[in-house]
Amino acid sequence: VTVVIVIVAAVVALAAGVAIGYWLPPHGRRPASDNRTAVRRILLPFTGQAISRRAFEAAARLAKAENATIIPAFLARVPRTLPLDSPLPAQCDQAMVLMEALEQRAHAEGVAVDARIARGRTYRDALRRLLDEEQFDRVIVSATESSANGLSPDDLEWLLERVPAEVMILRPAPDDKRHISVNGVHGHF
Amino acid sequence: VEDVLNAGIDVMSTVNVQHLESLNDQVAELSGIRVRETIPDRILARADEIVLIDLTPEALLERLRAGKIYPPNRIDAALNNFFRIENLAALREVALRQVAEEVEQKRLTTVEPLGSREELVAAEAQQAVGERLLALVEPYPGAQRLVRRAWRSAQRLGADIDLLWIRPPGAKLSDDQRRSLTALKQLASTLGAHFLVEESDTIPEAIADVARRQRTTYVLMGRSRPTRGLGRLRTPLPQRLMELLPGVDVRIVADRARRSNGDRG
């Protein structure tokens, strides 16, 4: 009889445990992933209507290897005659679609993305403001971008001196013409 | 214009594209100059016919230099400020797009009216107020996608957009959440959207209050988190919102991960 009581008690205790676990709210549980080290952050600044595919692929490879998050940051220029916090619908028109394209591609590669928009009087100023606000472990830029539409050689030099993170400047290559553009968005957006 | 129309008199007028209210931010961004005198878009929308008077920037500058636009003492100042060739080219593009959109809008709405007079009046009144989107966000990276979708929808509808986060009272944010919140606010500001934060425990009621206050016509939300326990007995948020906000559309933006998995399956 004692054995039966013990077995019944064990079964009841087990069922109660399962039930309590089931009824607990999701935030009451601590996922195993909470114990791992902080996620690394890779900044991928870009300007204009396209982003170097090489720069993105480099960021995606590193992000996969290091379980990192890619932070694509659109650098927007605000005319000097407007307040710095002015809305920029024309630039956003391009940036939003491009960010969607980047996020779709990153998701296909299984990489986490957390996009940003940074405003400044120049591209360098926008980047500086972003770097002042947030910390990044790596910054990846392509040296092939035209300085008329992106970061100039001076900006890249400034970046190397200024950023307390590992900076990867991709050297020019024959496939630099490959870009991820707004045409890369799949499906309804 | 409205007074004259109400008096039964036809109005024929010219307007510069930079004076349209909805284009104010865009024109400011393109030209670097904030135009203070604006007219509501509904005035233009009421027009039976819109004719675009198109001129190349070069021809316009010639007219300016010839004194056909401003008196001689204002010509130099105009040339150095608003009447720069890149401004004029950008404004020309905006004007062409605007007229194209108006023509398309007219073509799409030129259908036989159906329904009673009351329904027509109600529909017209609603249209006059204009569309307004409310996107429900939370401080996490995935919310940005929802904001992008809301922004695109707002553009298509010619609507204003509000972002709303219902913050649980006393909730403390993690570092990641703080970062995401800052990024969301920055995104909202750059898009010209309004970022609203309401503290409340009763999420549907708080959303409904804001929606009524903002005269929202469209609510966008992401996929709800899975509920457990007694939460399963509650009416899901979208249904609750539809009950609380009759006449307001509710749209659930698909979860990218689930959509991709579905595609593969």
Please state the pTM of the whole predicted model. 0.68
Both tokens of B226, joined, read 């899975």
The nearest CA of chain B is from the CA of A105 a distance in Å of: 11
CB contact under 8 A, B32 and A93: no
Given CB atoms, is A118 within the 8 Å cutoff of chain B? Answer: yes
d(CA B98, CA B78): 24
Q: What percent of chain A has pLDDT over 90?
A: 27
Mutate to test the interface with B, among A117, A119, A135 (most CBs of B within 10 A): A117
With contact defined as beta carbons under 8 Å apart, do A84 and A58 qualify?
Answer: no
Given CB atoms, is A121 within the 8 Å cutoff of chain B? Answer: no
By three-state DSSP, how is residue A115 classified?
coil
The nearest CA of chain A is from the CA of B141 a distance in Å of: 5
With contact defined as beta carbons under 8 Å apart, do A92 and A51 qualify?
Answer: no
Minimal Cβ distance to A100: which of B148, B192, B260: B148
Given CB atoms, is A92 within the 8 Å cutoff of chain B? Answer: yes
Both tokens of B52, joined, read 């675009």
Number of H helices, E strands in chain A: 5, 8
- Confirm whether the ipTM is greater than 0.90: no
For residue B258, the chain A residue with the least C-alpha distance is A107
Closest CA to A116 of A108, A102, A182: A102
d(CA B175, CA B209): 30
Bridge partners of residue A76, in order along the sequence = A119
Both tokens of A122, joined, read 């120049």
Predicted confidence (pLDDT) at residue A87 exceeds the cutoff of 80: yes
The nearest CA of chain B is from the CA of A59 a distance in Å of: 18
The nearest CA of chain B is from the CA of A85 a distance in Å of: 7
Question: According to the model, what pLDDT value does residue A156 have?
Answer: 87
Minimal Cβ distance to B141: which of A93, A96, A114: A114
The nearest CA of chain A is from the CA of B241 a distance in Å of: 23
With contact defined as beta carbons under 8 Å apart, do B145 and B180 qualify?
Answer: no
Mutate to test the interface with A, among B87, B148, B227, B258 (most CBs of A within 10 A): B148
- A39-43, B60-64, B154-158, B169-173: lowest mean pLDDT where? B154-158
CB contact under 8 A, B141 and A113: yes
- A126-140, A146-160, B21-35: lowest mean pLDDT where? A146-160
- A21-35, A111-125, B88-102, B144-158 — most confident range: A111-125
Question: What one-character DSSP code corresponds to residue B235?
Answer: P
pLDDT in tens, A170-185: 877 666 666 676 666 6
Confidence bin at A39 (pLDDT 50/70/90): low
Minimal Cβ distance to A87: which of B144, B190, B257: B190
Strands A138-142 and A166-170: parallel
Residue showing tokens 């749209």: B251
Question: According to the model, what pLDDT value does residue B155 have?
Answer: 82
Closest CA to B208 of B244, B162, B236: B244
Rg of chain B on CA atoms, in Å: 23
Given CB atoms, is A89 within the 8 Å cutoff of chain B? Answer: yes
Set of chain A residues whose Cβ sits within 8 Å of the Cβ of B28: 79, 82, 86
